[in-house]
Amino acid sequence: MPNRPIIAANTLPTAGNDLDTSPETIIALAREVAEVSAQRTSAIGDITRRTKILALNAKIEAARAGIHGAGFGVVAAEVQSISAEIDTAAQGMRDQIVGSANRLHQLGQDLVGSMRGQRLADLALNMIDIIDRNLYERSCDVRWWATDSAMVQALENPGAATADHAAARAGVILKSYTVYLDIWIADAQGRVIANGRPDQYRARGQSVAQESWFRDAMATRSGSEFAVADVASNTLLNGQPVATYATAIRAGGEENGRPLGVLGIFFDWAPQAGTVVKSVRLTDEEKQEDRTKCLIVDSKFRIIAASDEAMFTLGHYPLKPGHRDMGYYQAEDGTIVAYALTPGYETYRGLGWYGLILQRPIETDTPVRSDLRH
């Protein structure tokens, strides 16, 4: 397989940054219509109240004038009546326009919340899919290299010379495949007899018999199978987090040969996964004040990659009960939580990991009342 690190080749379209056409701007305009309508109808109300007072004063003066003010009193009464009608009409217009504008504003908020939640869920799926596709290559690498004659000879004809040759061969591979920290060859008893970077990592002579990846690899039924362990720190690799892939080295390098030992390869997890979670294509608004966080969690919801390293202090980020393979919801603090379960890729089965995107709300956000399922 080609030697390439994980790349965040996000091809999903991004939301537009043009504030004149964004959904948020439409919502803001609806709110502005409601405010302007309230202000204008309030101004009309002020005018009609002043007109009523003037009409009342005119009626008083007409009464004082007696018969000479009778005609003027009729006009004053009519003005007062018209003012009352205008006031009633203005109030009705205000209630109708403001009510409609408020409903439009709420519907717009619901729509924007749904659009944003679905878009973030799509981004979460794309993010975890990139992880899967690249880890699939790791599974191909380990199955391929386990058939290398140097690896096979080191276990079929054990000795210092064959072990040194296997170590040298592993070192050559590591120079080209820079995404790995080390490659180990262990015998059937779990003793590491050679590794590709002996000057950097003193694994030779150490026992890995109790490691799950070693036991699972020895239990594989053919060379087409492999074992994988969740991301974890490895003390023999200076405590660095690695994704470990392993398979049996078989007699004669044959697919159905007898297991002689195990080849283990250690994927340099932190920089590779970090590239993915820090390269999700977010809008400028979503990036402001770090309001959006991108995470990868394992099957136990342990945070194993994060765009903001401060998130690692949480340790875990469990999803709400009843979550599905893909969707979004709004947490109690208003944060939109979008998630997608690893789909797997070709022969690489998903490990139950999730891609998560957490986004703090902005002023126009509203509770997300639905859950997306694909």
Give the closest residue to 311 by CA, choosing from 299, 301, 325, 320: 301
- Residue 256 in any domain: the answer is yes
8 A C-beta contact, residue 314 and residue 334: no
Average pLDDT over residues 75-83: 64
- Residue 43 counted as domain residue: no
Domain count along the chain: 1
Does pLDDT of 197 surpass 60? yes
Q: Please name every residue paired with 192 in a beta bridge, in sequence order, or none if there are none.
A: 186
User: 302 pairs with which residues across the strands?
Assistant: 316
Between residues 115 and 183, which one has the greater pLDDT? 183
Given a cut of 70, whether residue 152 has pLDDT beyond it is yes
Indicate the pLDDT class of residue 179, thresholds 50, 70 and 90.
very high
Structure tokens at 367: 């509770």
The pLDDT score that the predictor gives to residue 196 is 97
Q: What is the mean pLDDT of the chain?
A: 82
CB 293 within 8 A of CB 302: no
Euclidean distance between CA atoms 304 and 317, whole angstroms? 10
Residue 140 has what pLDDT? 93
Q: Which residues, other chains included, contact 222 with Cβ-Cβ below 8 Å and sequence gap of 6+? A: 255, 256
CATH code at position 185: 3.30.450.20
**Whole-number pLDDT of residue 367:** 45
User: Which residue is listed with tokens 């109808």?
Assistant: 41
Which range among 28-42, 196-210, 319-333 has the greatest average pLDDT?
A: 196-210
Report, as an integer, the average pLDDT of 264-273. Answer: 95
pLDDT band at 61 (very low <50, low <70, confident <90, very high): low
Q: Residue 11 falls within a domain, yes or no?
A: no
What is the average per-residue pLDDT within 192-202? 96
- Assigned domain for 254 exists: yes
Confirm whether 318 is domain-assigned: no
Report yes or no on 314 lying in a domain.
Answer: no
Is pLDDT larger for residue 59 or for residue 292?
A: 292
**Phi, psi values for residue 98, rounded to 5°:** -65, -40
CB 264 within 8 A of CB 160: no
Is 189 within the bounds of a domain? Answer: yes
In a domain, residue 184? The reply is yes
Which range of residues forms the domain containing residue 185? 137-268
Candidate ranges 79-88, 114-123, 205-214; pick with highest mean pLDDT: 205-214
